[in-house]
């Protein structure tokens, strides 16, 4: 892999992104599905790459298409490495530039929102692993470990699915990456379709409090563009370019967060090697050779912790103004777009064909569970503005945070409910653990190392029950007047 091949692969990827954006602007179906340009570009790369066009060329004996389709083998080799690198950038930027709210303000809204969020994350493990134990293993001979892919794919999204690739390869299950990426696509698309349908149903039946009719999206919104009259801030200058370019400064801070994460991970692996990693370890699954858990944990959740550490230091020293949140979002968005295109374009369709029963069962289970959570449990946990507040968590649990925010914008276009604020506060407690956090990173390694899925199934089942029960008790207390719902006050303050 030469420097020239790396550069050319990135140029090709950028061209795919541009074509994907053009198709989003021109194709009405893509607009109505709110499909991100990166998803469109990724599938375009898959179609004209070795997995589709390349195999067609091989069948037709067209030698010029047989290897990489319209691309070179070198380009796909580079693209295959990008997701594992860029996911650390995505997670390192999650909390950089964020304003940490006062505990009192956050506690007012985060309770029921966190309950429903934890229920989504833990419940996906419960449903998936139970299917793995009761259906996939006995009927299809598939390792129950694949059941954990529902949370990795749906709650984690394409970024987490691709970021877990090194861990999957170390554990000898590289096919899990392709399955997870395909399932992430199913979750994202169905999440948007079902979410918009639920908002429309909520409007017709009077279950929405903010909007009484779903307004038509403008042409520019459907195309994913801003009009010439929109004034959108993409970031502020936090340093003078004569000393260092502001973007360079922010990229350097992201790099420092990743370095901190790497140091933390290496330290944790060293501690593991000194304790249960010793040959005489008595931990389950050690088999006289030591138990490896943290050695399979990818870097990206620790890079997120590195970002939190930097932001905490900046807040405590009064230097938080040096980091602009919008600039960090742009860095995150760039990394995520490139990651998604590279990951989707390099999916192995052969793996999907080999595991098609697993793919269909887990995908269907993930969609049904998410929909059931939204329609049944959410109104019983969130006392007021349940659809506005619940639709964001539904979208996140089916795709990525951006999906939840798209649905929230449809349900509350002018931010008149406390949904956005409550969702943001919940993320501070939720992101470090689920959807690519420490629980996501550790769950599959724990199952693999111990050979026992119940080490994850049991605690996740307990967390699911506790989250649901606590939320319903809180809701009942509000309904009976034992305490007031702070979201009503927050809504009046927002208006």
8 A C-beta contact, residue 190 and residue 403? no
Predicted pLDDT at 356:
93
Could you tell me which residues come within 8 angstroms of residue 432 by beta carbon, excluding any fewer than 6 positions away?
A: 301, 304, 305, 308, 438
Percentage of the chain modeled with pLDDT above 90: 37
| Helix 73-92 / helix 300-317 crossing angle, nearest 10 deg | 40
| Residues in the chain, total | 495
Question: What's the burial of 120, exposed, middle or buried (CB within 10 Å: 0-12/13-18/19+)?
Answer: buried
The pLDDT of residue 461 = 97
Residue 495 has pLDDT above 50, yes or no: no
Indicate if the pLDDT at residue 446 is higher than 60.
Answer: yes
In sequence order, which residues have a C-beta less than 8 Å from that of residue 26 and are 6 or more positions away? none
Instruction: Please state, in angstroms and rounded to a whole number, the distance separating the CA atoms of residues 419 and 42.
Output: 32
Mean pLDDT of 106-111: 67
Residue with the larger pLDDT of the pair 207 and 379: 379
For residues 160 and 461, the model is more confident at 461
pLDDT at 243 exceeding the cut of 60? yes
Residue 464 token pair: 């699911």
Q: Which residue has the higher pLDDT, 102 or 309?
A: 309
16-33 residue pLDDT tens: 999 999 999 999 888 877
Residues above pLDDT 70, as percent of the chain: 86
Q: CB-based burial of residue 429 (10 Å sphere; 0-12 exposed, 13-18 middle, 19+ buried)? A: middle
The model's pLDDT over 272-293, given as tens digits with 9 standing for 90+, comes to 777 765 655 545 555 555 566 6
| Residue 46 scores a pLDDT above 90 | no
pLDDT tier at 131 (50, 70, 90 boundaries)? Answer: very high
pLDDT value, residue 113: 87
Backbone angles phi, psi at 356, to 5 degrees: -65, -35
Q: What is the mean pLDDT of residues 442-458?
A: 91
| The pLDDT of residue 108 | 60
pLDDT per position as a tens digit, 192-226: 889 989 988 988 888 887 776 655 667 776 777 77
More confident residue, 234 or 191: 191
More confident residue, 368 or 160: 368
Q: Is the pLDDT assigned to residue 15 strictly greater than 50?
A: yes
Residue 479 pLDDT > 80: no
pLDDT of residue 268: 86
Is the confidence at residue 443, as pLDDT, over 80?
yes
pTM comes to 0.81
What is the pLDDT at residue 176?
93
């Amino acid at each position: 892999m030469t420097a020239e091949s790396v550069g050319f692969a990135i140029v090709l990827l950028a061209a795919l992104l541009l074509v994907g954006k053009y198709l989003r602007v021109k194709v009405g179906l893509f607009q109505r599905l709110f499909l991100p340009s990166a998803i469109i570009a990724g599938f375009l790369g898959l179609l004209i790459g070795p997995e589709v066009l390349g195999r067609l060329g091989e069948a037709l004996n067209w030698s010029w298409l047989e290897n990489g389709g319209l691309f070179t083998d070198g380009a796909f080799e580079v693209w295959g490495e990008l997701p594992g690198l860029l996911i650390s950038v995505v997670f390192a930027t999650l909390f950089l530039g964020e304003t940490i709210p006062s505990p009192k303000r956050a506690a007012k809204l985060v309770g029921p929102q966190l309950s429903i969020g934890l229920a989504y994350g833990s419940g996906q493990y419960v449903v998936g692993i139970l299917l793995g134990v009761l259906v996939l293993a006995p009927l299809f001979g598939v390792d129950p470990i694949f059941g954990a892919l529902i949370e990795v794919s749906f709650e984690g999204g394409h970024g987490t699915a691709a970021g877990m690739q090194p861990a999957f390869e170390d554990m000898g299950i590289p096919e899990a990456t392709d399955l997870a990426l395909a399932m992430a696509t199913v979750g994202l698309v169905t999440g948007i379709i079902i979410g918009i349908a639920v908002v429309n149903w909520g409007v017709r039946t009077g279950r929405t409090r903010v909007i009484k009719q779903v307004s038509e999206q403008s042409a520019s919104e459907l195309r994913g563009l801003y009009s010439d009259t929109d004034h959108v801030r993409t970031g502020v200058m936090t340093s003078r370019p004569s000393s260092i370019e502001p973007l360079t400064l922010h990229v350097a801070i992201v790099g420092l967060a990743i370095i901190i994460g790497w140091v933390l991970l290496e330290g944790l692996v060293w501690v593991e090697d000194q304790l249960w990693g010793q040959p005489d370890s008595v931990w389950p699954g050690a088999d006289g050779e030591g138990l490896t858990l943290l050695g399979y944990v990818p870097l990206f959740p620790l890079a997120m912790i590195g970002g939190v550490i930097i932001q905490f230091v900046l807040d405590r020293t009064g230097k938080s103004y040096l980091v602009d949140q919008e600039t960090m979002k742009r860095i995150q968005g760039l990394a995520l777009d490139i990651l998604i295109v590279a990951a989707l374009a390099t999916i192995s369709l052969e793996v999907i064909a080999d595991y098609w029963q697993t793919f269909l069962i887990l995908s269907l289970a993930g969609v049904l569970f998410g929909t059931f959570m939204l329609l049944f449990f959410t109104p019983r946990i969130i006392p007021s503005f349940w659809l506005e507040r619940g639709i964001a968590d539904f979208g996140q649990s089916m795709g990525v945070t951006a999906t939840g925010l798209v649905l929230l914008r449809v349900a509350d276009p002018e931010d008149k409910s406390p949904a956005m604020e409550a969702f943001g506060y919940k993320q501070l407690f939720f992101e470090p653990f689920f959807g690519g956090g420490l629980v996501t990173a550790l769950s599959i390694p724990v199952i693999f190392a111990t050979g026992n899925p119940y080490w994850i199934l049991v605690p996740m089942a307990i967390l699911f029950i506790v989250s649901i029960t606590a939320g319903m008790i809180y809701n009942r207390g509000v309904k009976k007047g034992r305490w007031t719902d702070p979201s009503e006050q927050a809504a009046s303050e927002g208006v």
